[in-house]
Structure 1
Amino acid sequence: MRKIRIVASGAAVVSLLAGATACGGGESTGGGSSSPKTLTYWASNQGPSLEADKKILTPELKKFEKQTGIKVKLEVVPWSDLLTRILTATTSGQGPDVLNIGNTWSSSLQATGALLPWDDANFAKVGGRDRFVESALGSAGAEGKDPAALPLYSMAYALYYNKAMFKEAGIEKPPATWDEMAEIGKKLSKNGKWGLGAEGSNLSNNIHQVFVLAKQHGADFFDSSGKPKFTDDKVVAAVKQYVDMMAKDKIVAPGNAEYSQNQSLSDFSKGKTAMVLWQAAATTFKSQGMKDSDWGVAPVPVQSGTPGQGQQLNSMVAGINIAVFKNSKNLDGATQFVKFMTSDEEQRLLCKTYGSIPPVKAAQDDEAFKRPELEVLKNTLATSAAALPQVTNESQFETAVGTAVKSLFAKAAGGAAITTADVKAELTKAEQQMASQ
């Protein structure tokens, strides 16, 4: 995913998944097209605004129309609405033909039965499975099943830092470990400015950060059977470590507890915070007036040593997938459109524009993907990233645990110290919520 996603409420997710059928794009009155000459496409918000995405995508859709004679009706859906809209479409049949999904939702949406499986025959229509980076396909559905979507834009997390603020504070290089993060962050947190930006009310961002920290502590949120184990001592320690960046280390502004959608990027661009953990942020920084020379990029810190496999993982496998409702009345046109969007040419163009990494191998040869920022992201994806749990109730997991972290940030913002017992209590509620679903 490019933009960090705000997940629908747990109740909505549960009720919609429970009633989900294999309904896909329906008649034209519901958004999906019944004409072989038209398609409807829900794109996720990847750029600085919905309008920016429309300007970026419209010429490409015209290009597809010129090539195939198929007109694409575009709607760019904000992340705050996207999951709910998709889940509603799976039950009503009034959805698009083609849509973008956050890659972490793949298994949950696959379980509804609404999405077209990418078996060998369907892969052949887009040039074959081997065109795609395998790690990106790993976040396209449950293990052992045909993917429910194809990777469209790949990303990983990196640490972005403000060069001028570092120089002013006499800091020569970005932190490589979390202890260094706390030390450097404290030097930068003064005179109304802060060391690190966070988004405490952004449930998905919360999940992404604590997932990585849990891995670094040697923990998982689920056991091998898919049963949640949120109260594992190492999971508790990971969540506490994240919230303590505000509560204990005080390198995150208390107001960040209320941030939910890219406000931390705005603060970074305005010089209010010196560092931010984000995915492929260059396009947003540029749109907000920063020059590429104003900021640097480094791998996300680890507990000790350098990033790598096992407990040295420092990112989730991030990205956007493209999917087809299998009951679309224009399956042939929909698969043609997916082939177009995942073609080498379009991958180079769109990923270059959005600052993401092409999940199509041949497209990565472009010089644009060799600049320092993307080299860090590519290396992270290749050597030190892992997919979020590919469980059928992943979206409920994002809601339950993301909300637990949000509640802890709210307490920290109020000045309360966060104890291990506080963290365990919130995670116990999250685990109970999952068990009841």
Structure 2
Amino acid sequence: MRINRLAAATAVVATLALTATACGGSSGSGSGSGDNSSPKTLTYWASNQGASVEVDKQVLEPELRKFEEQTGIKVKLEVVPWSDLLNRILAAATSGQGPDVLNIGNTWSASLQATGALLPFDADAFGKIGGKDRFLPATIASAGAEGKDPAAVPLYSMTYGLYYNKKLFQAAGIERPPATWDELVADGKKLTSGGKYGIAVEGGNGSENVHHAFTFAKQHGADFFDASGKPTFDGPDQVAAIKQYVDMIAKDKIAAAGNAEYANNQSVTDFATGKAAMLMWQSAGANLKSHGMNPEDYGVAPIPVPAGASGDKLTTSMVAGINLAVFKNTKNTTGALDFVKFMTSKDEQIALNKAYGSIPPVTEAQSDAAFATPELQALAKVLGTSAQPLPQVANESQFETLVGTAVKNLFAAAAAGKPITDESVKAELTKAQQQMPAS
């Protein structure tokens, strides 16, 4: 399961804040009277989290029947593929013809919040779902712009870790996973031989690229936006961060040149089949198992940081995950919030995150034995201590696409044998910054 796919709808997102100023009635049918106090039905758009839409239905429909039994409210489920989800949400926001409750990628929260189409989770709304303090702070920080009421609440959480092949490490005489970048490069060179590589990267995947660009920039003490929300893509520290990442192919040669074209989880396959000894990925366990790799074959550690790092430079991941939002114009506000309360209850958080191999953002659910595996414990620690949200700005979606594409272009140049210099990295980032729409 991947939670970090980004639909190619940046042009629509850029204009959405201007067009979604007046929304009509929700397409979710209630009691027919518009009475929020006693809704009879809700419409729910769920994102595709499992191996297929059908798998998601098998996971979700029994849970939705529990909600109906408890409340008398029937939930009409539609599982929306990731390739369609953002476009569907944008169309619903502009037309007003949308669901009552929906999943959104958490990195879209601020962009969708800026449209005004989502119900703000103020103190009153949080009170109706059991309180804000039930959620990990990092996951709440990924639910909308700082200083504003969140536009959604966390539902499923994920974060990045460094996966390493225990057998290949042992064969190379490496006793522990690298904790610093110097150690990772040194280990990567020891592990690169005989057609095998130290690490696999997904250089053609814009979402993967921007996630690592964000983390590496934080480790260099840099951000991609200043305090006013103005893009700062091409500063010297941002350039150094991107160059460090691309140098895995360009300079250090610890990743295969062919990784520059990877865009569909091929790096996971390379790791699972022993072609690469390390992998930076979100909750990869289920995917690795599908390729025949057992949990005892690999370990999970935090992504390395610079030697002597402190403060924000200790960031090892962006906060990944899915948020649960309510359309502001729903006729079923009370029922929608009851549904959010149900989906974020301890029992449902355990059942759903267990099914999807993700981490519950509701802290009391994390104590369940289902999340006691070494992999999930390691990732939960990262989520709670060293993960930070991507920039919560209105143009975040465009940032993801433009910077992700800039890094993709640099990987392609590196694979072609072209020199990757500070100047070439800066040129790509400057081009990306110039394409950002005005705030």
Structure 1 residue aligned with 2:313: 311
* Cα deviation digits, residues 314-359 of structure 1 (max 9, x gap): 1112221110111123222221211111001001111222222211
CA RMSD of aligned residues (A): 2.0
Candidates 242, 245, 253, aligned match of 2:245: 242
CA contact (8 A) 1:24 1:96 kept: no
Matched, 1:324 2:326: yes
CA distance in 2, matches of 1:134, 1:169: 40
Structure 2 residue aligned with 1:169: 172
Matched, 1:6 2:2: no
**1:191 partner SS:** coil
Q: 1:16 to 1:77 in 2, by over 3 A?
A: same
TM-score (norm 1): 0.93
TM-score (norm 2): 0.92
Structure 2 residue aligned with 1:225: 228
Candidates 412, 415, 437, aligned match of 1:413: 415
Candidates 18, 28, 33, aligned match of 2:29: 33
CA contact (8 A) 2:210 2:400 kept: yes
Which amino acid in the other structure matches residue 357 of structure 1?
A: I
Deviation at 1:9, TM superposition (A): 4.2
Structure 1 segment 18-417 matched on structure 2, within 5 A: 18-23=18-23, 26-27=26-27, 32-35=28-31, 36-305=39-308, 309-417=311-419
Which amino acid in the other structure matches residue 303 of structure 1?
A: P
CA distance in 2, matches of 1:333, 1:430: 43
Which amino acid in the other structure matches residue 204 of structure 1?
A: S
Q: 1:260 to 1:20 in 2, by over 3 A?
A: farther
**2:339 partner SS:** helix
**1:218 partner SS:** coil
Which amino acid in the other structure matches residue 16 of structure 1?
A: L
Matched residues, number:
432
Deviation at 1:2, TM superposition (A): 4.8
Which amino acid in the other structure matches residue 295 of structure 1?
A: Y
CA contact (8 A) 1:25 1:97 kept: no
CA distance in 2, matches of 1:169, 1:54: 45
Which amino acid in the other structure matches residue 84 of structure 2?
A: D
CA distance in 1, matches of 2:3, 2:144: 20
CA distance in 2, matches of 1:179, 1:304: 8
**2:277 partner SS:** strand
Which amino acid in the other structure matches residue 10 of structure 1?
A: T
Structure 2 residue aligned with 1:16: 16
CA contact (8 A) 2:14 2:437 kept: no
CA distance in 2, matches of 1:66, 1:152: 21
Which amino acid in the other structure matches residue 115 of structure 1?
A: L
Greater Cα offset, 222-231 or 200-209: 200-209
Structure 1 stretches of 4+ with a deviation exceeding 4 A read none
CA distance in 2, matches of 1:129, 1:11: 34
Deviation at 1:426, TM superposition (A): 0.7
Which amino acid in the other structure matches residue 20 of structure 2?
A: A
Deviation at 1:24, TM superposition (A): 7.1
Deviation at 1:434, TM superposition (A): 1.1
Structure 1 segment 419-430 matched on structure 2, within 5 A: 419-430=421-432
CA contact (8 A) 1:185 1:251 kept: yes
Q: 1:66 to 1:286 in 2, by over 3 A?
A: farther
**1:296 partner SS:** strand
CA contact (8 A) 1:150 1:322 kept: yes
* Cα deviation digits, residues 91-113 of structure 1 (max 9, x gap): 12232221111111111110000
Deviation at 1:164, TM superposition (A): 2.3
- Identity across the alignment (%): 66
Deviation at 1:76, TM superposition (A): 2.5
Which amino acid in the other structure matches residue 5 of structure 2?
A: R
CA distance in 2, matches of 1:168, 1:277: 21
Which amino acid in the other structure matches residue 276 of structure 1?
A: L
Q: 1:25 to 1:292 in 2, by over 3 A?
A: farther
CA contact (8 A) 2:16 2:115 kept: no
Deviation at 1:436, TM superposition (A): 5.1
Deviation at 1:25, TM superposition (A): 6.6
CA distance in 2, matches of 1:24, 1:72: 21
Structure 2 residue aligned with 1:432: 434
CA contact (8 A) 1:7 1:83 kept: yes
CA contact (8 A) 1:24 1:114 kept: no
Deviation at 1:432, TM superposition (A): 0.6
CA distance in 1, matches of 2:179, 2:234: 28
CA distance in 1, matches of 2:105, 2:214: 16
Structure 1: unaligned runs, 5 residues or longer: none
Structure 1 residue aligned with 2:34: none
CA contact (8 A) 2:398 2:436 kept: yes
Deviation at 1:401, TM superposition (A): 0.9
CA distance in 2, matches of 1:178, 1:352: 32
